[in-house]
């Protein structure tokens, strides 16, 4: 499965798609990038005159790249043709540096385990300078959707 095929299967659309490019994915993890456009709506009220990307959006970006993209890859690797939904079940993330409007980030995930339809990953997000802006663990359940 190619990175483009994985991106095509993501269940998100603009303005809630936080993956620009999937650089690498294999059975052990994923790596991708996203640039936060300066005109995203949440910047308008998130700290007047000094906007930063909300932690929930940083977490969502890590989940989309590090958990969902990897989950799609892993499911296709075991031969499932089912339409799958992936829901975050838990996260524990440390936020170390702010991410400003216009910044590009790189997310790297490392699979901790994948069993009983639950995927758990160690994730980190770095800015363009290579500094870790947040890191932690994110888990999710892979849920088959009914066809019809």
Residue 99 sits in a domain of what CATH number?
Answer: 3.10.129.10
Supply the range of the domain harboring residue 107. 3-144
DSSP reduced 3-state for 94: strand
How far, in whole angstroms, is CA 81 from its chain's centroid?
22
**In this predicted model, what pLDDT tens digit does every residue of 72-126 receive, in sequence order?**
999 875 555 556 677 889 999 999 999 999 999 999 999 999 998 899 999 999 9
DSSP reduced 3-state for 8: helix
Q: What are phi and psi of 131, to 5 degrees?
A: -85, 135
How buried is 40 (Cβ within 10 angstroms: 0-12 exposed, 13-18 middle, 19+ buried)? middle
**Catalytic residue ranges:** 46
What total number of domains does the chain contain?
A: 1
**In this predicted model, what pLDDT tens digit does every residue of 12-22 receive, in sequence order?**
999 999 999 99
**In this predicted model, what pLDDT tens digit does every residue of 125-143 receive, in sequence order?**
999 999 999 999 999 997 7
């Amino acid at each position: 499965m190619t990175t483009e095929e994985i991106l095509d299967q993501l269940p998100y659309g603009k303005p809630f798609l936080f993956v620009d490019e999937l650089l690498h994915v294999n059975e052990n993890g994923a790596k991708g990038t996203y640039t936060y456009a300066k005109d995203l709506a949440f910047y308008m009220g998130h700290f007047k005159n000094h906007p930063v990307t909300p932690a929930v959006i940083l977490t969502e970006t890590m989940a989309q790249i590090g958990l969902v993209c990897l989950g799609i890859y892993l499911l296709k690797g075991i031969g499932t043709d089912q339409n799958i939904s992936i829901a975050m079940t838990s996260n524990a993330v440390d936020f170390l540096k702010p991410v400003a409007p216009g910044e590009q980030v790189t997310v790297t995930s490392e699979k901790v385990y994948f069993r009983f339809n639950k995927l758990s990953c160690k994730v980190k997000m770095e800015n363009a300078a290579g500094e870790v802006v947040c890191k932690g663990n994110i888990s999710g359940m892979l849920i088959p959707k009914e066809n019809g």
